[in-house]
Chain A
């Protein structure tokens, strides 16, 4: 992912951190994310509530709340998005880097027709006239397989179903043919059959348009279907990062392994699920060391005190992990745990 990538990555994020000033103190929502995104690749950012996955991409797009501050570097084709003035950022947002959000009902303006919302984007970024923009918009709606696009484009968002609205959002994001598409839990609010449709669509669009995708989700199944590379977040920090094969088949971090074992699977027979004890962390009071310490079944005393270094794994140079335990220890402990519970290894 980092050693063998092309020499001209599309996006380079280094040590991205996000802090919020609240009456309860300073909250470190995101604490050191580093990754590289190449053309046409898909990166999946996986985490549960409080892991900081949404805040990290909001920081990348300059959409943080007023009491939030982002530090670090987000280089898009060499330009740092974090320190860029808003006027320049506006030329990139929606144009070269586009975002789709979780809830399509609240992300679309209920008072404007779909046509108006889409033509607005084209008029602003591409300088098209209203009529030209409408033609392009209908073409894009066709590309996202919306039936009867020319008729439906005049409708209001509330007249669409959830899946259709999400297609509208995806179409809006693709209008300017961006290089990077950031999707923040795009299918979480949808039914599973509709989700399947949308995921197939995204795969096809990626193939046709060559867009790089950053997909944020808590659903490991979605990541498995769509992403080449995976980053696992917990408590605002990266636990493990690497290719999808490495993460899914050879997890080397207790959290990743625990998460994979906790997901209910269709093909597993009647095996019990391995539960991770405890609850998501309180972001205002994180331990000094690894944020997963309190829930980790294999934690050493130093885990709570010293933050593990984020470094390449000994087995797989493409995988980065942040854990004090070595890979053999993690694997062995995991097998022990599973055998204790009668879970298949």
Chain B
């Protein structure tokens, strides 16, 4: 979704991205046709410098796979990914290495994303060692220490090991590691899902501060729409590898167009007894269909309360409904 008034190019342009994995099932002979799990099946969006795009979806929607495909952690099967205008699909390791200074990632499990045998200093310093080996030891240590203090750790913790920290502190270490190269974009893959509620707010507030200070663009992936609301300007809702709706925050939360978004919003439990009990839920029937044998037409039609016959025929494209939102539903 590009802004017609801006002249600058988006920092990330994704067009029709597809990621698939080959699946070997039972009863398959070497000559039987290959079966593919379509983890991401044609997703397109833009990201501008300094903005936050939230990507929301439940399990199996492909959001984590999408994030990994954007930085070459899983191969891109089809489509185009342009970072700073450079086409990255089919790019070699040197091209990706240059982009690593621009894009960094924060992971979901704070403790598992840190090497248990390395100290905090070594973990945070690893990107510096890889991309800026010419730094002197003093400069290196200074930058590591500065980053640690910036994310809320203390200097005495510099030689500790990850298992000595709580989940929230581990995530701070992860953030420090991602930001030490001063990237322009940070992909946050469910950074607060594994944390307690009281710690989630700390980390989200920290990310917002750092974003404002460093002018970062964020891709914030989560399964919780409420969390995403606090940090994103635009939100993309995914289901079974496809984008169902992309909209500016207020458009999405105040007037969601796609039935899935509506169901998702109504399903979130609100910590307010009166509201919660008076709520009319839009319940979805059934289960997530198989990602290997996807339903024809709109993938959401098997569970959609508003599905009609038309929905089974063609895959609905993402249509622009208004200046601020696009929705992949033929019912508008």
The answer to whether A and B belong to the same complex is yes
Counting from the closest, the 10 A-B pairs by CB-CB distance are A221-B269, A220-B271, A196-B267, A279-B166, A191-B58, A275-B201, A276-B198, A273-B201, A225-B276, A48-B196
Asked if B224 and A258 make an inter-chain contact with CB atoms under 8 angstroms apart, the answer reads no
A163 to B59, CA, bound (A): 12
Most buried by B among A191, A194, A260, A295: A191
Asked if A199 and B224 make an inter-chain contact with CB atoms under 8 angstroms apart, the answer reads no
A200-B281, A224-B270, A275-B205 known; A192 vs B223 contact (CB < 8 Å):
yes
Asked if A224 and B272 make an inter-chain contact with CB atoms under 8 angstroms apart, the answer reads yes
* 8 Å CB contact of A276 from B201, B263, B266: B201
Task: Give A47 Cβ to nearest chain B Cβ, in Å.
Answer: 9
Most buried by A among B224, B226, B286: B226
* 8 Å CB contact of B196 from A49, A191, A244, A265: A49
A265-B226, A266-B229 known; A248 vs B271 contact (CB < 8 Å):
yes
Asked if B198 and A259 make an inter-chain contact with CB atoms under 8 angstroms apart, the answer reads yes
Asked if A193 and B267 make an inter-chain contact with CB atoms under 8 angstroms apart, the answer reads yes
Chain A CB within 8 A of B114 CB: no
Chain A CB within 8 A of B139 CB: no
* 8 Å CB contact of A195 from B166, B266, B267, B288: B267
* 8 Å CB contact of B272 from A194, A219, A248, A276: A248
Count of chain A residues near B, Cβ 8 A: 46
A193-B267, A195-B267 known; A272 vs B230 contact (CB < 8 Å):
yes
Asked if B271 and A280 make an inter-chain contact with CB atoms under 8 angstroms apart, the answer reads no
Binding site for B on A (CB under 8 A): 48-49, 147, 161-164, 191-197, 199-200, 218-225, 244-245, 248, 258-260, 262-267, 270, 272-277, 279-280, 295
Most buried by A among B201, B264, B270, B286: B201
Asked if A163 and B226 make an inter-chain contact with CB atoms under 8 angstroms apart, the answer reads no
Binding site for A on B (CB under 8 A): 58-59, 166-169, 196-202, 204-205, 208, 223-227, 229-230, 253, 263-273, 275-277, 279, 281, 283-284, 286-288
A-B contact pairs, 17 of them (CB 8 A): A193-B267, A195-B269, A197-B283, A200-B281, A220-B271, A221-B268, A221-B276, A224-B271, A224-B272, A224-B276, A244-B273, A262-B197, A263-B197, A263-B271, A266-B225, A266-B270, A275-B202
Most buried by A among B227, B229, B279: B229
Task: Give A50 Cβ to nearest chain B Cβ, in Å.
Answer: 9
Task: Give B39 Cβ to nearest chain A Cβ, in Å.
Answer: 17
Residues of B within 8 A of A274 (CB): 201
A52 to B208, CA, bound (A): 32
A9 to B59, CA, bound (A): 41
Residues of B within 8 A of A276 (CB): 198-199, 201-202
* 8 Å CB contact of B224 from A161, A245, A264: A264
Asked if B166 and A280 make an inter-chain contact with CB atoms under 8 angstroms apart, the answer reads yes
A163-B287, A200-B281, A279-B169 known; A262 vs B201 contact (CB < 8 Å):
yes
Residues of B within 8 A of A48 (CB): 196-198
* 8 Å CB contact of B198 from A191, A248, A258, A267: A258
A48-B196, A163-B287, A279-B169 known; A265 vs B281 contact (CB < 8 Å):
no
Residues of B within 8 A of A196 (CB): 266-267, 269, 281, 283
Closest residue of chain B to A197 (Cβ to Cβ) is: B283
Most buried by A among B208, B227, B230, B266: B230
A259 to B102, CA, bound (A): 36
Asked if B169 and A267 make an inter-chain contact with CB atoms under 8 angstroms apart, the answer reads no
Closest residue of chain A to B222 (Cβ to Cβ) is: A264
* 8 Å CB contact of B205 from A197, A244, A273: A273
Asked if B269 and A259 make an inter-chain contact with CB atoms under 8 angstroms apart, the answer reads no
Given contacts A161-B288, A191-B59, A194-B58, list 20 more A-B pairs with CB under 8 A. Answer: A195-B269, A200-B281, A223-B271, A224-B276, A225-B279, A262-B197, A262-B198, A263-B197, A263-B271, A264-B200, A264-B201, A264-B204, A272-B230, A273-B205, A275-B198, A275-B201, A279-B167, A279-B199, A280-B196, A295-B198
